[in-house]
Structure 1
Amino acid sequence: MRVDKNKKFTRFTAFVIIIFLVFIGIISRLVYLQVLNSQQFKEKANNRSIREIPEAAPRGEILDRNNNVLATNKQNYMLVYNETSESKKDFFKTMNKVFDILDERKQEQTDDFELKINPYRFEFKSDDPKVKKVLELRFKKDRGLDEEVRKKFFKGKHKEELTDKDKEKIDEELAKITPKEVFDFLVKQYEIDGKGYSLKDKRRYMIVKDTAKMQRFSGYKPVTIANDISKETATIFLQKLNDLPGIDVTTQPVRYYPNKEVGAAALGYISKISGDRDKYKEKGYDVSSDYIGINGIEGIYEDRLKGSKGGKIVKLNKNGRIVEELGRREPYPGQTLQLTIDKDIQAAAEKALDDNMKYIRATYPKAGNATRGAAVAVDVNTGEILALASRPGFDPNIFSTPGKLTPEKYKEFFNPNLAEFGRNYINSKGLSGGDTEGKLNELFPLDKRIKNNKTIREDIHDVYPKPLYNYATMSVVPPGSTFKPMTAIAGLESGAIGQGFSMDDNGVFDDGKNFIRKFDVGAYGPVDLTKALEVSSNPYFMTVGKKLRETGGDDILAKYAWKFGLGVPPNSDVKPATGIEIPENFGQVFNKYSMTKIYARQYLWQTMSTLKEGKDSRGNRFPSIDLYDRDSDTEKVKEIKTSIKDLVKQSIEEGSKKFNSEEYKKLFKQLITEDSAQKNKNISDKEISTIINVVRYITVSDANSQLRLGANMYNASIGQGISSFTPLQLANYVATIANGGDRYNLHLVKKILDSDKNVIQDIKPEIAEKTNVSKENLAAVRSGMTEVARGAAGTATNTFKSFNVKVAAKTGSADISENQGEFGRTSYATLIAFAPIDNPKIAVSVVVFDGQHGGYVAPVAKAIFEQYFNKGKKADTKSK
């Protein structure tokens, strides 16, 4: 080829060469991306659709002593929503179809959303107003309302620059935001507004949007739209998945209680995490969706029951649906707990309580509020709890399955309308005196602990039945005459009386000094120990109390009662507990120290009230002195008030020997000078002397003198006064009498097993204390208790006389207060019993609030014995 040397290199030629080189570069890059390194970049492109989905571990099962299932798990079909950029585009269109199918199939949307409508309100799972306030603030902050407040009041400050005072201001303003305003804020935030949806539909969309947002804080997790859908409904959704971007059907273990209410007081329940979320985050919980044990065995053994979460690495398509599983970590089930509870005895106890209370309400007008009660059954030779019944009860399935906690049940459990309840209660009891609202404010006052409260009331006389409250372990009630066997044991063991001690019961007790008490029932004539227990002679046991006091002072009765688990020595290192694993209160028997502290509190309140009123019960008038704490008090004023109140308590506890008039005078003058509410009163020295004399009369002449009376011991000897115990303590006490004097630690857990039912731990019986009480003395007491159940005048004979197993028992009736009729209450009905007499196996305690008489609740114990000995035959829960 011949080259034309005369042809020049033009700019056009240069342009062509540059274009050619550019194309060569592009082609080379395409070859590199699509051929040489295609796999790497495909994986990078797809990384946005690869996610880890956590899998809940099945909670460990809870079994009864005979391996009957009390709590387990069942696989539920769940409808879930996976939020992706593609599925978000069709969110409303998709949800409309989803809700139509759910509605057609009568399946409920999962609804744990605390913001409700019609009316707008918050519903948090707590009955404590302070806790509700904290939860409401957290709800608002989680949704970003605190940022809105910050921008409004602290526009120039970043969040990190806020002072504690600034944060208090934000909380104050957040508290003012109404539920409706929160709802409207979220409607805009989630872009639900302007689409013509009904209020109900707006909230349905909001639930899904809000759940998706909250779960982003703890990593990716599908939103549960409907829990526990039927297999048929699941099939319909599976057939329509192509038309429902983001929607999928899956399965998940859900806590299930096959016996519903049976054993709920011991089991507790599970619920979504609400309080102390940081603690649960540290333990690996997803605080936006995980469930934890609340109360009972579920709560105490949460760490053993929860198991270990699993998870799977999946690839999602653009519609948020799983197209490939890339890896898996299997969940590991929680441990299994085998309880000491016998399901059938437990069921018998609960049914008997319900039937018996219903019968008492219908038969005895004064016992019309017998709506609350408890029964405990114990193996006397091991301390194993066979039944732990608390009424009213609840079905724990309500809490484990989202959506089952209806507004009605929420109201019953956490937010009772005490105004409505109170009016009905007052009118049904004829308590109004023509002024229902005035009586309502007296019996169910507004809760003063809540600032500016105009709606929330208190149940100060414990009238409203609380299903979630464990009356068996938490209610501390006076024992009444069920305490008399304890008085007999103390009298016999101390030598205050002998087994042959007898006296003439003429219906009156007179200590020969300054205490006389006449009884409405009694005058049984000559009574010995056996007869005194059979007929429940008050003069007899008060006389034993008098002799005890003469023998060993005010604390000798307590010395023996503590051995039987009826309290512990105050200020000792002895743990006040029965041994049960779940939370309990623990009552105390009468003793001088406890009595003194109770009086110090009660008479301090009386002193403060009298001083503020400016007149006392004797007609003395004087300038008002306010010792109550106020938010406006300076530190100096608080210090002076505290010093005066400490001085008042010292005067009550120690009497005239420690009454320091000069110290009172100095402190009152300081208060008048320092306190803005007092200093303009011009109180003279003479008026201060009057005030000091009023204080002296209340604290020394009244309170301290009463502490030194024998009446305190006499009342304690018949189960009255300050002595109060839980039904659980009463069961342990009678079990100790039954087995010959060994007090066992009570327990609910028998064995702990792994998920394959291999035993990890076998809980053995453990003696808490050997009372070392004489076998002969115990036999004498048991003989009297036998006559209670079988003797001609026995207070439980009508129930047990024809029973085929010989029972020993003691009934009791204990007043709540001297004026209990003024607020519609009547006596607690209490009973303790064990059987059989010759070789005791089982001990029982029964308490019915407002049951009126211990004999009325004996059929509950009989029903428990029927189930234990006769497998439920012939049980009759009517009071006879």
Structure 2
Amino acid sequence: MKGNKKIEFTRYTALIVIMIIIFTAIASKLFSLQVLKAEEYKEKANNRSIREIPDPAPRGNILDKNGTLLASNTQSYVLVYNQTDDSDKTFFDTMDKVFKILDESGEAQQDDFELKINPFRFEFRSDDAKTKRLLELRFKKDRGLDAEIQKKLFSNKKDKLTEEDQNKIDEELLKITPEDTFKKLVKQYKIDESKYSLEEQRRFMIVKDTLKMQSFSGYKPVTVAVNIKKDTAFKFLQILNELPGIDVTTQPIRTYPYGELGSSFLGYISKISSDQDKYQEKGYDVSTDYVGAAGIEGVFEDRLKGSKGGRIVKLNRQGRVTAELGRRDSYPGQSIQLTIDKDVQAAAENALDAKMKELRDNPFAQYRSNTANATRGAAVAIDINTGAILALVSRPGYDPNLFAAPGRLSSEDYNKFFSPDLTQFGMQYIQQRGLMSYYPGKSEDDVLNMLFPLDKSIQNNTTIRQDLYDIYPKPFFNYATQSLVPPGSTFKPLTAIAGLESGVITPYYGMYDNGTFDKGGGHIYQFILDGANGWVDLTKAIEKSSNPYFMTVGKLLRTAFGDDSLAKYAWKFGLGKDPNSNVKASTGIEIPENFGQVYNSTSAKNSAANIYLWKTMSTLKNGSDDRGNSFTSIDLYDNDKDSDKVKGLKSDIKKSIQNAIKEGSSAFDKSNYKKMFSDLIQSDSQYSGKDITDKQIGKIIDIIYYIAVSDANSQLRGGFNMYDASIGQGMDQFTPIQMVNYIATLVNGGTRYKVHLVDKFLDADGKVIEEVKPEVIEQTGVKPENIEAVKAGMAAVNEKGTAAGAFQNFPIKTGGKTGTASLTNQESFGRTDYAEYVGFAPLDTPQIAVCVMIFDGGQGAQAAYVARDIYSAYFKLNNTQNSSQAANAENNG
């Protein structure tokens, strides 16, 4: 043992052992990572994230009564960008390549970005100036432009901002021009201005901005281009490895196979812009989802939208889907089958378009008319035995496909729909119509500001104008359901019913029509256009549209039963409603409508009270009236600076004026007015230091008496209101949908049905979920013999009266009534008579009723030609117009 040497365990030896252990562990780990688990970690390296991608639900279809698709969905190829850390690094190079391929392939980048260039401007989808203002504020706030302003104005404020503070921020935001907004976003999104053109900057901005907006609601791919061609999709699929973040997928796109056809009731879908909070509460993604914006699409959004699905997927470093881990299927929305007949709808649209073009091309073909602006119109056809609408037309229309996918709406279309240049249009209109002759001493700018006044509700507005006299054609205004129009002579059958039912006339009641009518007070009205019709009974009066006859009926009704005697019958037929009742003002139609009113004492008083109050307030503030009297100016307009006491006094005075307008001298107490005005003058600081004597107050009270009692109330008590109403003028105003239902009610025997567009609701498999049954609103109780008497007159109109030209040689006997309705002083603002027609077919066994209105169309006979074409389509006379088929249609339906 002597030769054995003992090994000493030093610190150096310990270090060597530790190092060996460490390197062995590292080698072992490397072997495990690179050899044993190489594939697993390679996959993890590529798959950077697991995310859910939402799948949109197909909207339910909209069909006509025969099952023809009016709105459906088509699967389309969609180019998307998935954001990852890696794809972000090459964003600009990648998108530059993408844009070049899209351009070479004739494809358009998705573009619903409201900030435009060349020139810089905002394009918000609204024709309402206040809404545009709100949308501009939301646009700028969503992109953080208010933060800088808030920091500048209120950096030292520790308390929560007040409403006044927010208003200051809003005003400063609105001062940021579209160009400055663009520059701020270029900087925010780090777009190189020196490297890319203005157009290229905006293309990058669209994608970057969408990424920012969508980031508020979680991860979603950004749609770069939608509805691209199959060849373009395959071109991208072949080079995906060169385009980090880019992928191709499919999704349903809303399609309207017949373009404009039915746009008046179908509506359209649009990106969510307003009411975002409401849609967020319902689970919508306000950054990407589209919703119904009008018509059936809008009203039945909850039924049509369906349920969104989603996919749990793996994304690799390039942002492309490598695996689908799970799926939640989307489910289509309910389909809606309408009562509309596509062929009848098409015939109505084509006929109305053709007639309006003819009127524009021959503007002076009719006596006393200039139809150069016959650009607006409506036509409605209804099943008289159910209230089901067969056709509903509003002109001008629009193509809903323009709104179904981003980027389809051109700037030209946008301006036509949402931002028309009423200054340019107005100037051309004034010159073409020769309107300067009506305004001697006025300049063209003066007349422009009278016809198309600047919208004073918009602060600092210098460009946005109002169409005060409904001159400019509005594609999104539904003239069939929302336009209130004087019915003219198309109302006369109702006057006949009122006269017959009340007993003031019989079918044989006659009189000599010399072309004049004495309205009382020495006012004898002469009907130049109609002339004298000689001896007329009821049938002849309807045939010839005798104004003196029906005004006489109105006079007899008023003398026997009072001012509301005509209205009581009109209300039974849906022409207005009793203002003192709880009856809903509606025809029942599912889409938005206005509801017009017939002349009646209550409505007349309420209307006059508002109109003459404003006249009184304006006169008092001016300090002079139209008789040349001068007096101390008194301001009764509301003012934010008014104290509560002043507000109360002004309110009391205005209520007293309105009561005097309605009730006359019995409601006019001079001593009370003197006290109220004395209190107002003492309480309102604007009169401080002014010596307003009792004599001056007395003069003010006399002015009020003259306007409110001598003028307004005496007008209300005049018999001419009833006489005008009996021929469809004066206060009478109704929509075409009201008019067609009144005719349907008349000729079906007196049953008024609820008007409806929807026939059935269907599930995704086409099975009926719910069926809409005809619903009776009222049984009028009109005697059959009285209905037959009126129908006989309407038959004479089409056989030998004012519509005979349209129905000459028509193979089915029909009945109808033309109307030529005017507006007060219409020539001074370039308007011409409304051409109107209501009718039904066949004569003996009515099935269909129609109403046609052409704005600035001249005489009512012109509208009858449109009705004729509607009948031809309904009875399929265009295919085989032989006598046996016509006879079968008339006898059997």
Partner of 2:714: 705
- Is 2:524 aligned against 1:492? no
- Is 2:699 aligned against 1:690? yes
Contact 2:47–2:317 under 8 Å retained in 1: no
CA apart distance, 1:579: 0.8
CA distance 1:431–1:743, change in 2 (3 Å): same
CA apart distance, 1:136: 0.8
- Is 2:477 aligned against 1:477? no
SS in 1 for 2:436: coil
CA distance 1:4–1:502, change in 2 (3 Å): farther
Partner of 1:878: none
Partner of 1:79: 79
CA distance 1:189–1:824, change in 2 (3 Å): same
SS in 2 for 1:531: helix
* Segment drifting more, 373-382 vs 71-80: 71-80
Partner of 1:148: 148
Partner of 2:183: 184
Equivalent-residue separation in structure 2 for 1:680 and 1:709 (angstroms) = 44
Partner of 1:284: 283
Equivalent-residue separation in structure 2 for 1:667 and 1:42 (angstroms) = 89
Partner of 1:298: 297
Q: Which amino acid aligns with 2:322?
A: V
Q: Which amino acid aligns with 1:196?
A: K
CA distance 1:867–1:701, change in 2 (3 Å): same
- Is 2:94 aligned against 1:94? yes
Alignment of 1:471-870 (within 5 A): 471-510=479-518, 515-520=523-528, 521-791=530-800, 794-817=801-824, 819-870=825-876
Equivalent-residue separation in structure 2 for 1:658 and 1:684 (angstroms) = 25
Equivalent-residue separation in structure 1 for 2:68 and 2:866 (angstroms) = 23
* Segment drifting more, 537-546 vs 2-11: 2-11
* Segment drifting more, 641-650 vs 138-147: 641-650
Q: Which amino acid aligns with 1:786?
A: A
Partner of 2:248: 249
SS in 2 for 1:127: coil
Contact 1:515–1:711 under 8 Å retained in 2: no
CA apart distance, 1:362: 2.3
CA apart distance, 1:295: 1.1
Equivalent-residue separation in structure 1 for 2:569 and 2:3 (angstroms) = 129
CA distance 1:2–1:152, change in 2 (3 Å): farther
Cα shift readout 1:528-570 (whole Å, capped 9, x = no counterpart): 0000000011111011001111221111111110110101110
CA apart distance, 1:856: 1.4
CA apart distance, 1:23: 4.9
Cα shift readout 1:216-236 (whole Å, capped 9, x = no counterpart): 112211111111111111121
* Segment drifting more, 763-772 vs 161-170: 161-170
* Segment drifting more, 277-286 vs 485-494: 277-286
Partner of 1:392: 396
Equivalent-residue separation in structure 1 for 2:231 and 2:40 (angstroms) = 43
Equivalent-residue separation in structure 1 for 2:117 and 2:712 (angstroms) = 54
CA apart distance, 1:16: 3.5
* Segment drifting more, 322-331 vs 384-393: 322-331
Equivalent-residue separation in structure 2 for 1:721 and 1:544 (angstroms) = 16
CA apart distance, 1:641: 2.0
CA distance 1:620–1:511, change in 2 (3 Å): closer
What value does the CA root-mean-square deviation take over the aligned residues? 2.2
Aligned length: 871
Equivalent-residue separation in structure 1 for 2:294 and 2:689 (angstroms) = 53
Equivalent-residue separation in structure 2 for 1:5 and 1:651 (angstroms) = 133
Cα shift readout 1:302-332 (whole Å, capped 9, x = no counterpart): 1111111111111111111111111111111
Residue 430 of structure 2, aligned match among 426, 429, 453: 426
Cα shift readout 1:639-684 (whole Å, capped 9, x = no counterpart): 3222221111111011111112222222222332333333343222
Equivalent-residue separation in structure 1 for 2:185 and 2:155 (angstroms) = 22
TM-score (norm 2): 0.94
Alignment of 1:354-433 (within 5 A): 354-365=353-364, 366-433=370-437
CA apart distance, 1:179: 1.1
Contact 2:378–2:480 under 8 Å retained in 1: yes
Cα shift readout 1:590-645 (whole Å, capped 9, x = no counterpart): 10000000100110111011111111122211011122223443433333222221
SS in 2 for 1:473: coil
Cα shift readout 1:680-723 (whole Å, capped 9, x = no counterpart): 43222111100100000100111111111111111100101111
Q: Which amino acid aligns with 2:518?
A: D
Alignment of 1:217-256 (within 5 A): 217-256=216-255
Cα shift readout 1:370-421 (whole Å, capped 9, x = no counterpart): 1100000001111110000000010000000211111000001110000010
Equivalent-residue separation in structure 2 for 1:281 and 1:246 (angstroms) = 28
SS in 2 for 1:701: helix
Equivalent-residue separation in structure 2 for 1:147 and 1:2 (angstroms) = 90
CA distance 1:783–1:162, change in 2 (3 Å): same
SS in 2 for 1:337: strand
Contact 2:636–2:650 under 8 Å retained in 1: yes
Alignment of 1:138-217 (within 5 A): 138-156=138-156, 161-217=160-216
Equivalent-residue separation in structure 1 for 2:727 and 2:371 (angstroms) = 22
* Segment drifting more, 669-678 vs 533-542: 669-678
Contact 2:47–2:316 under 8 Å retained in 1: no
CA apart distance, 1:363: 2.2
CA distance 1:15–1:337, change in 2 (3 Å): same
Alignment of 1:320-339 (within 5 A): 320-339=319-338
SS in 2 for 1:242: helix
Q: Which amino acid aligns with 1:132?
A: K
CA apart distance, 1:2: 9.2
Equivalent-residue separation in structure 1 for 2:443 and 2:631 (angstroms) = 33
Alignment of 1:298-317 (within 5 A): 298-317=297-316
Partner of 1:443: 451
Equivalent-residue separation in structure 2 for 1:36 and 1:264 (angstroms) = 65
Equivalent-residue separation in structure 2 for 1:164 and 1:552 (angstroms) = 56
State percent identity of aligned pairs. 60
Equivalent-residue separation in structure 1 for 2:169 and 2:559 (angstroms) = 65
TM-score (norm 1): 0.96
Q: Which amino acid aligns with 1:482?
A: T
CA distance 1:505–1:336, change in 2 (3 Å): same
Equivalent-residue separation in structure 1 for 2:34 and 2:584 (angstroms) = 75
* Segment drifting more, 595-604 vs 3-12: 3-12
CA apart distance, 1:44: 8.0
Contact 2:519–2:525 under 8 Å retained in 1: no
SS in 1 for 2:686: coil
CA apart distance, 1:252: 0.9
Q: Which amino acid aligns with 1:857?
A: A
SS in 1 for 2:380: strand
Contact 2:193–2:201 under 8 Å retained in 1: no
Gaps of 5+ in 2: 365-369, 882-893
Partner of 1:60: 60
CA apart distance, 1:294: 0.9
SS in 2 for 1:367: coil
CA distance 1:31–1:162, change in 2 (3 Å): farther
Equivalent-residue separation in structure 2 for 1:333 and 1:625 (angstroms) = 63
Equivalent-residue separation in structure 1 for 2:3 and 2:347 (angstroms) = 115
